[in-house]
Amino acid sequence: MSADDFEALDAFLDDYLKLPVKGKDGTVRVYRIEDPSAEDGLRIERLTSLAARLAAGGKRPETPLLDDQEEHDLYRTCLGAAYEPLLRELSWSAFKHVALTVMFWVVSDKETASQFWRTGQQPGKAPNRAARRAQEKHAGSASAEASTTKQPASTSGTRAGSRRRRRR
């Protein structure tokens, strides 16, 4: 096997991620997030794999995995030059969503990042209870509207105020 058997590494890797983000002024701007350095990528990978191992153990860590400054440093590392403009332009939840999308891109791939971007759910993780209820309510409302059958009364087994029938 020789070097002739391989394409140049950059021929198929994503060197950047473009994310359209609506700012506080309502204008959508596309931010180009560059692939981090190898050293920064290793740091991001280490932090996220530690969090994944803790989550896989089913136990919630007794202390926060990252303090506030470490969390901001992680986001700064993920976002690179786009960190400051995004921090000025976005609310906390939007900023965090952008940063986590980039983190999923760095540690996994563009498809995983895209899935998180669209859903806000950690890829492979079941939706939380509120999201499931919203889905069920939406699905249930269509069938409820189609039915005109009256729902039965409670069948809790108590009959307040009624006489018990006797066999004769």
Residue 144 domain flag: no
Q: What is the pLDDT of residue 162?
A: 47
Residue 149 domain flag: no
pLDDT band at 142, cuts 50/70/90?
very low
pLDDT top residue among 143 and 22: 22
Q: Tell me how many domains the chain contains.
A: 1
Q: Using one digit for the tens of pLDDT, what is the confidence trace for 13-70?
A: 678 999 999 999 999 999 999 999 999 999 899 888 776 665 566 555 565 667 777 7
- Over residues 129-158, mean pLDDT: 53
| Residue numbers of the domain that contains 90 | 14-122
Residue 146 domain flag: no
Residue 153 domain flag: no
Contacts 24+ apart (CB under 8 A), 105-109: 105/14, 105/17, 105/33, 106/35, 106/36, 106/41, 106/44, 106/45, 106/78, 107/44, 107/45, 107/48, 107/49, 109/14
Q: What is the pLDDT of residue 52?
A: 65
Residue 5 domain flag: no
Q: What is the pLDDT of residue 57?
A: 62
Residue 140 domain flag: no
Residue 28 has which token pair?
């959508």
Residue 113 domain flag: yes
pTM of the model: 0.63
Q: Using one digit for the tens of pLDDT, what is the confidence trace for 61-116?
A: 565 667 777 788 889 999 999 999 999 999 999 999 999 999 999 998 899 999 99
Residue 39 domain flag: yes
